[in-house]
């Protein structure tokens, strides 16, 4: 599992484990972490594809780029690097830029 449990600056707020779903697969997350962090902790680091079919993943981690856009609970273009994961949330990859709404 790829999860940072101790950090010299950031303090963990919760150790409560919650479940969410990624493309139909049940995964676990820690309450309060971002969707991106939870996915990476579960070994998922490709969040979608560009319009040219190249993989997209974690990049800026501050919500300024479009590398982490995914579909969350049916809503496209969610920046998962800044969106907290929630119990029962449904997440799926978003492919290409045709779905991006600016």
Q: Locate 40 and state its tokens.
A: 């990476």
Task: State how many domains the chain has.
Answer: 1
The answer to whether position 79 is within a domain reads yes
Residues contacting 102, CB < 8 A, separation 6+:
none
Bridge partners, 48 (sequence order): 56, 94
Q: What percent of the chain has pLDDT over 70?
A: 81
CA-to-CA distance for 94 and 71, rounded, in angstroms?
Answer: 6
The answer to whether position 102 is within a domain reads no
The answer to whether position 37 is within a domain reads yes
The answer to whether position 24 is within a domain reads yes
Q: Coil, strand, or helix at residue 38?
A: helix
The answer to whether position 4 is within a domain reads no
Q: What is the CATH number of the domain that holds 74?
A: 3.10.20.440
Residues contacting 13, CB < 8 A, separation 6+:
31, 32
The answer to whether position 52 is within a domain reads yes
pTM (whole model) above 0.85: no
Across the chain, mean pLDDT equals 85
Residue ranges making up the domain that contains 70: 18-94
The answer to whether position 87 is within a domain reads yes
At residue 101, the pLDDT reads: 45
Read off the pLDDT of residues 10-25 as tens digits, 9 standing for 90 and up.
Answer: 666 778 999 999 999 9
82-94 burial: b if 16+ Cβ within 10 Å, else e = ebebeeebebbbb
pLDDT band at 70 (very low <50, low <70, confident <90, very high): very high
């Amino acid at each position: 599992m790829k999860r940072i449990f101790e950090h010299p600056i950031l303090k963990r707020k919760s150790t409560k484990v919650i479940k969410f779903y990624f493309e139909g697969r049940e995964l676990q997350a820690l309450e309060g972490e971002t969707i991106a962090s939870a996915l990476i902790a579960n070994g998922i680091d490709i969040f979608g594809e560009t319009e040219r079919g190249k993989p997209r993943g974690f990049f800026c981690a501050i919500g300024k780029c479009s590398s982490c856009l995914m579909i969350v609970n049916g809503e496209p273009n969610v920046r998962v690097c800044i969106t907290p994961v929630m119990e029962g949330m449904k997440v799926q990859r978003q492919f290409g830029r045709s779905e991006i709404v600016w």
